[in-house]
């Protein structure tokens, strides 16, 4: 059989595949955010409404700020033993299946559906539904919900609105298109709880998180005439403030927000691993920067894991930024 080049499938092809299968595992990426989880929960809820069996897999626990999402309490890293052999694994919001983590048992390509909006998705599934122009994976899922003809109820609407608000930074980022705002309005009319999403994902902070923010701000450094701002967080800082890795999630945006800054990086040296979050004001493509170092993401928001010392990570990221025009 001749393998054809992977391509992006149509809504009709995906819907036919969803109807054909009886059981589904919705797969979120490690260090989950509101998009990967909200997209999976929304599609999972819709599939349950048409009588399908749905399991939610996520290697890491549900972060505190996402526990309000409908069905979040059902998310597990331990899959049931009695799943049928043709269970479809639906990977949400990841350019490569490896982002699901090493805890996921091996899945045949035949049983992989890839739903995403990242630049440079590797089209790893049997079917791939990747729409790079969409602001979130949840809005990609919306096309499938319409295709399936499942009514969007308040629970599904909350999940999808959470994906939009997560990936647009609460309607602030440049991916906040008129279409995204129109869809958000439609979801609110269907009962999406915008107040709860705002409070849980954006407003409520632990005191420990605010103390940690203070330390990260103290450690800020500015390079290249103040256009590049970076800082770090390590285990000692977490211990001194009582914060944990979850409390570092949106801190990089504070760095990007400093006057004159074009591009920002937060280096997280936590539990023996260095994770780097990159954000751009729009001039430099941080997806390309992250990809040079084995990571990925979007033009203005990307990330990677660095193997080496913190000082080496600082140098490697700065070098990659320079190649990309810093
Ligand atoms: P964050 O800085 O919030 O962890 O990630 C920002 C964006 O980059 C997200 O869209 C995320 O999916 C993507 N990203 C973060 N880390 C990685 C990584 O290690 N590999 C890839 N391919 N994408 C990443
Ligand atoms: Mn996303």
Question: Per-residue pLDDT for 5 more than 90?
Answer: no
The CA dihedral of 304, 175, 26, 15, to the nearest 10 degrees, is -140
The structural domains of the chain, ordered by start, are: 11-202 (3.90.1640.10), 207-323 (3.10.310.30)
Proximal ligand: closest to the CA of 295: 1
32 lines ligand 1 (CB under 6 A): no
- CB contact at 8 A, 53 and 24: yes
**Would you tell me how many other CB atoms lie within 10 Å of the CB of residue 20?**
9
- Ligand 1 atom closest to the Cα of residue 118 is 10
Which tokens hold the place of 274? 């260095």
Distance CA 214, CA 216 (A): 6
Distance CA 232, CA 209 (A): 14
Exposed/middle/buried for residue 101 (C-beta within 10 Å: 0-12, 13-18, 19+)? middle
Q: Mean pLDDT over all residues of the chain?
A: 97
Pocket test residue of 34, 301, 317 for ligand 1, highest count of atoms within 8 A of CB: 301
- CB contact at 8 A, 293 and 270: no
State how beta strands 273-280 and 112-116 pair.
unpaired
Q: What is the CA radius of gyration of the chain?
A: 20
70 lines ligand 1 (CB under 6 A): no
28 lines ligand 1 (CB under 6 A): no
Question: Per-residue pLDDT for 299 more than 90?
Answer: yes
Distance CA 94, CA 238 (A): 28
274 lines ligand 1 (CB under 6 A): no
Which tokens hold the place of 197? 């999403």
Query: Model confidence over 14-63: pLDDT tens digits?
Result: 999 999 999 999 999 999 999 999 999 999 999 999 999 999 999 999 99
302 lines ligand 1 (CB under 6 A): yes
Question: How high is the pLDDT of residue 3?
Answer: 57
Portion of the chain with pLDDT greater than 70, in percent: 99
- Ligand 1 atom closest to the Cα of residue 95 is 22
């Amino acid at each position: 059989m001749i393998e054809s080049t992977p391509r992006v499938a149509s809504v009709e092809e995906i819907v036919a595949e969803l109807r054909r299968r009886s059981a589904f595992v919705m797969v979120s990426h490690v260090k989950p955010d509101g998009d990967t989880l909200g997209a999976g929960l929304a599609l999972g809820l819709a599939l349950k409404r048409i009588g399908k069996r749905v399991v939610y897999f996520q290697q890491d626990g549900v972060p505190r700020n996402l526990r309000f999402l409908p069905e979040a309490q059902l998310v597990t890293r331990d899959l049931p033993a009695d799943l049928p052999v043709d269970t479809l694994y639906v990977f949400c919001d990841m350019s490569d299946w490896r982002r699901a983590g090493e805890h996921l048992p091996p899945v045949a390509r035949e049983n992989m559906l890839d739903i995403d909006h990242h630049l440079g998705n590797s089209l790893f599934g049997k079917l791939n539904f990747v729409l790079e122009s969409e602001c979130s994976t949840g809005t990609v899922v919306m096309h499938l919900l319409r295709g399936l003809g499942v009514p969007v109820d308040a629970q599904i609407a909350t999940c999808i609105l959470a994906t939009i608000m997560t990936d647009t930074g609460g309607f602030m980022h440049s991916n906040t298109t008129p279409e995204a705002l129109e869809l958000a309005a439609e979801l609110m009319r269907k009962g999406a709880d915008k107040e709860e999403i705002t409070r849980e994902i954006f407003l409520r902070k632990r005191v420990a998180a605010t103390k940690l923010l203070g330390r990260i701000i103290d450690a800020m450094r500015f390079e290249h005439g103040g256009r590049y701002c970076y800082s770090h967080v390590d285990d000692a800082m977490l211990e001194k403030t009582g914060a944990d890795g979850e409390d570092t999630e949106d801190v990089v945006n504070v760095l990007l927000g400093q006057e004159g800054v074009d591009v920002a990086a937060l280096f997280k040296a936590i539990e023996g691993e260095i994770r780097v979050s990159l954000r751009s004001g729009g001039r430099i493509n941080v997806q390309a920067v992250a990809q040079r170092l084995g990571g990925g993401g979007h033009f203005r928001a990307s990330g990677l894991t660095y193997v080496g010392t913190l000082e080496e990570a600082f140098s490697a990221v700065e070098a990659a930024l320079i190649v990309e025009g810093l």
